[in-house]
């Protein structure tokens, strides 16, 4: 009788284990068959009905059944665990034969390359690099540079006004004034930075671009120093065979003033499409610092003289890298930037 019941419990349990879909279900079976109130435990309680001489045999049978169910339960549990691990590993698998993701390497902007080169040349000649503010008072951008309130030069540089006498500087020349005001002489500095003009965007104009200002003030500085310095700069920037030419010009803050051209580094001065047939390329404005400018910043113009120059950074970048549209410098198209 007990034998039959045991056999039934065993079959039922093994069937249930075989059909279990997950480890939780196995646990339920373990509790309902082997647990304190489980079916198999129940059998042990009915041992008192068994004839004493039969008891060891029946007890052995119960234990065997229990051991078998436990073993099958454990086996099944291990199968579930192995399947789980397998799925996890499959998920995490790394295919080492796949091509690696290409790391994109950044590039220096042509403006940056040009600026670094200009700085390197002037630092090599003993210049200091000084930065001035982009937001300026009218005084520093115009007045102290000999451009009074109704001077026509003020209209030439369409200015972004902020309010009152605050504006966005139209030229890095304003940095000259800050440097002179410090009262430390002699001065030998360049000042690179962003400038702003209310210009429409086209191939050669932008409302925001960059200049590098230069200023030298000392005793006995002459126009020969200016020419020698800028000639040397041009040869270092565009090549040793570069020639320079100074054309008279007008700037309110210098007297005399000039514009400097360099011989075309494409055709060597013979004339080509690049220099529009003239053999020369205009590079910068320069001149001897106007005595009135020195005086306004508190420098004794009987003892000190100086020269100054201002060069457009974009202009140098465009020329050096033969870029024919300034807009390319501001669009940050990586296909363009990657070429430098
Ligand atoms: N500030 C001038 C401009 O923006 C450039 C310039 C010309 C600067 C002559 C100078 C200079 O220092 O001496 O057009």
Residue 11's CB: how many other CB atoms inside 10 A? 10
* The pLDDT of residue 49: 80
More confident call, 3 vs 27 = 27
Q: Which of 189, 285, 288 to mutate to test the pocket of ligand 1 (most atoms within 8 A of CB)?
A: 285
Res. 1: pLDDT tops 80: no
Which residues have a Cβ under 8 Å from the Cβ of 100 and sit 6 or more positions away?
Answer: none
In percent, the amount of the chain with pLDDT more than 70 equals 99
More confident call, 56 vs 160 = 160
Please tell me the CATH superfamily of domain 110-337, with its number: Bira Bifunctional Protein; Domain 2 (3.30.930.10)
Give the strand pairing for 128-129 and 187-196.
parallel
**Secondary structure of the chain as H, E, C letters:** CHHHHHHHHHHHHHHHHHHCCCHHHHHHHHHHHHCCCCHHHHHHHHHHHCCCCCHHHHHHHHHHHHHHHHHHHHHHHHHHHHHHHHHHHHHHCCCCCCCCCCCCCCCCCHHHHHHHHHHHHHHHCCCEECCCCCEEEHHHHCHHHCCCCCCCHHHHCCCCEEECCEEECCCCCHHHHHHHHCCCCCEEEEEEEEEECCCCCECCECCEEEEEEEEEEECCCCHHHHHHHHHHHHHHHHCCCCCEEEEEEEECCEEEEEEEEEECCCCCCCCCCCCCCCCEEEEEEEEEECHHHHHHCCCCCCCCEEEEEEEEHHHHHHHHCCCCCCCHHHHCCHHHHCCC
- Average pLDDT of the segment spanning 318-322: 91
Query: 321 near 340, Cβ under 8 Å?
Result: yes
* The pLDDT of residue 35: 87
How far CA 260 is from CA of 174, 194, 247, 292, 319, in Å, comes to 21, 22, 6, 23, 15
* The pLDDT of residue 257: 98
- Average pLDDT of the segment spanning 51-67: 86
312 lines ligand 1 (CB under 6 A): no
Q: Which of 155, 253, 283, 297 to mutate to test the pocket of ligand 1 (most atoms within 8 A of CB)?
A: 253
Confidence of residue 318 (pLDDT cuts 50, 70, 90): very high
Residue having the nearest C-alpha atom to atom 2 of ligand 1: 310
Res. 85: pLDDT tops 90: yes
Instruction: Work out the mean pLDDT of the chain and round it to a whole number.
Output: 93
* The pLDDT of residue 334: 87
What does the alpha-carbon distance between residue 331 and residue 314 come to, in Å, rounded to a whole number? 14
Res. 58: pLDDT tops 90: no
- Lowest mean pLDDT of 9-18, 238-247, 276-285, name the range: 9-18
Q: In this predicted model, what pLDDT tens digit does every residue of 195-213 receive, in sequence order?
A: 999 989 998 899 999 999 9
Res. 156: pLDDT tops 80: no
Distance 251 CA to ligand 1 centre (A): 7
- Average pLDDT of the segment spanning 125-130: 98
Q: What is the pTM assigned to this prediction?
A: 0.72
- Average pLDDT of the segment spanning 327-335: 92
192 lines ligand 1 (CB under 6 A): no
Q: In this predicted model, what pLDDT tens digit does every residue of 216-243 receive, in sequence order?
A: 999 999 999 999 999 999 999 999 999 9
- Average pLDDT of the segment spanning 88-102: 89
* The pLDDT of residue 149: 85
Distance 285 CA to ligand 1 centre (A): 5
Residue having the nearest C-alpha atom to atom 7 of ligand 1: 285
- Residue 139, both tokens: 């005084």
142 lines ligand 1 (CB under 6 A): no
């Amino acid at each position: 009788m007990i034998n039959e019941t045991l056999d039934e419990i065993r079959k039922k349990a093994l069937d249930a284990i075989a059909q279990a879909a997950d480890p939780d279900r196995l646990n339920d079976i373990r509790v309902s068959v082997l647990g304190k109130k489980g079916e198999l435990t129940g059998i042990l309680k009915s041992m008192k009905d068994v004839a004493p001489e039969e008891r060891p045999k029946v007890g052995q049978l119960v234990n065997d059944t229990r051991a078998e169910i436990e073993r099958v339960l454990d086996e099944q549990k291990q199968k579930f665990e192995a399947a789980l691990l397998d799925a996890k590993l499959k998920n995490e698998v790394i295919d080492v034969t796949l091509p690696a993701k290409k790391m994109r390497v950044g590039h220096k902007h042509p403006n940056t390359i040009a600026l670094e080169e200009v700085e390197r040349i002037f630092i090599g000649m003993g210049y200091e690099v000084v930065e001035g503010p982009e937001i300026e008072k009218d005084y520093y951008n115009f007045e102290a540079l000999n451009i009074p309130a109704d001077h026509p030069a003020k209209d030439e540089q369409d200015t972004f006004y902020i309010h009152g006498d605050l504006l966005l500087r139209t030229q890095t020349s304003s940095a000259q004034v800050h440097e002179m005001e410090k009262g430390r002489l002699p001065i030998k500095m360049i000042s690179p930075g962003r400038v702003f003009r209310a210009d429409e965007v086209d191939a050669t104009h932008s409302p925001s671009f960059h200049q590098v200002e230069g200023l030298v003030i000392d005793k006995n500085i002459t126009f020969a120093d200016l020419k020698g310095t800028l000639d040397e700069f041009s040869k270092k920037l565009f090549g040793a065979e570069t020639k320079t030419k100074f054309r008279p010009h007008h700037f309110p803050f210098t007297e005399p003033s000039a514009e400097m051209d360099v011989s075309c580094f494409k055709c060597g001065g013979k004339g080509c499409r690049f220099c529009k047939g003239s053999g020369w390329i205009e590079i910068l404005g320069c001149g001897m610092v106007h005595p009135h400018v020195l005086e306004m910043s508190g420098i004794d113009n009987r003892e000190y003289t100086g020269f100054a120059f201002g060069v457009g950074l974009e202009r140098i970048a465009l020329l050096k890298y033969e870029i024919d549209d300034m807009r390319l410098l501001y669009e940050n198209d990586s296909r363009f930037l990657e070429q430098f």
